[in-house]
Amino acid sequence: MAEKVYLVNPETGSRHRLNDCKPCPRPSSSLKFSSSPKYRNKDLPKTVDLSSKMTPVETQEDTAACVGNALAAAYEFLIKKKTGRDIDVSRLFIYYNGRVRDAVDEGIIEDSGCSIAGAIEGLKEYGCCKEDWFPYDIRKVNQRPPKNCYDDAIHFRITHGLVLKPNLQEMKVCLAQGYPFVFGLKTFKSFSTAETNGGLVPMPEPNEDISLDHYQHAMLAVGYDDKLKQFIVKNSWGPNWVSCVR
């Protein structure tokens, strides 16, 4: 079983799971995102904020399900954009099938995180059911969802995903077109300060040590602000972690 890793805030004593956003074990089959001709550099809006169109912030609890939470948030946004309704989708369903898609062999499914690409492939193949069908009970984090969940989810598959380059222009274009994106980042020691400073994650100093041996975490980017030089992100550590990444 993989060892659990936490980010601990020395001021508050709170701790949150890390090392839950894994690299994809194989090349992604998703198409590359290409910047729309709708926006040139000078035409991009100075600010974009999709947070008002998001469903409520969730808490992943003591699981390594950050990718499942981030993809669920993105999926719920798309539903709300199309229907105007707040629909809870099953984060554990997405997380479980992301690990299935990541598995190179018939290994044991354990709570050790998954890749973003794996979770997207799972949404393509299996779809997603509602939260009511497979609730977020962390005692079932490694259990395969029941057959009726798959029977329902198959009607709600995504057709494709798009891969963004780690490029400022491309990320801003995606948000300006009205779409959030899931991303992973390395966590530095300063990452924990967001809990007590109003949700601001600062850029690390050049000499700052990477926290806990390069452990990564996934979140959903929902906006940006050129003046403040920040991205706005939706995290899965509860409502106090609606964060800005400067």
For 74-78, 92-96, 193-197, which range has the lowest pLDDT when averaged over its residues? Answer: 193-197
What is the per-residue pLDDT for 244?
63
Highest mean pLDDT among 107-116, 212-221, 236-245: 107-116
What is the per-residue pLDDT for 211?
52
Q: What is the mean pLDDT of the chain?
A: 87
Identify which has the larger pLDDT, 21 or 3.
21
Domains along the sequence of the chain with CATH: 37-245 (3.90.70.10)
- Residue 113 structure tokens: 């995180």
Distances (CA, A) of 219 to 20, 61, 132, 206: 11, 15, 23, 23
Helix 66-83 with 116-125: angle, nearest 10 deg: 50
Instruction: Provide the pLDDT confidence category of residue 212 given band limits of 50, 70 and 90.
Output: very low
Task: Report pTM.
Answer: 0.89
Q: Strand 181-186 relative to strand 47-49: parallel, antiparallel, unpaired?
A: unpaired
Instruction: Provide the pLDDT confidence category of residue 89 given band limits of 50, 70 and 90.
Output: very high
Residues 6 or more apart whose CB falls under 8 angstroms from that of 141 comprise 63, 65, 92, 95, 96, 111
What is the per-residue pLDDT for 241?
66
- Which parts of 84-191 fold into alpha helices (H)? 91-102, 116-125, 147-153, 168-176
Q: Say whether pLDDT at 194 is over 80.
A: no
| Percent share of the chain, pLDDT over 70 | 89
Identify which has the larger pLDDT, 57 or 244.
57
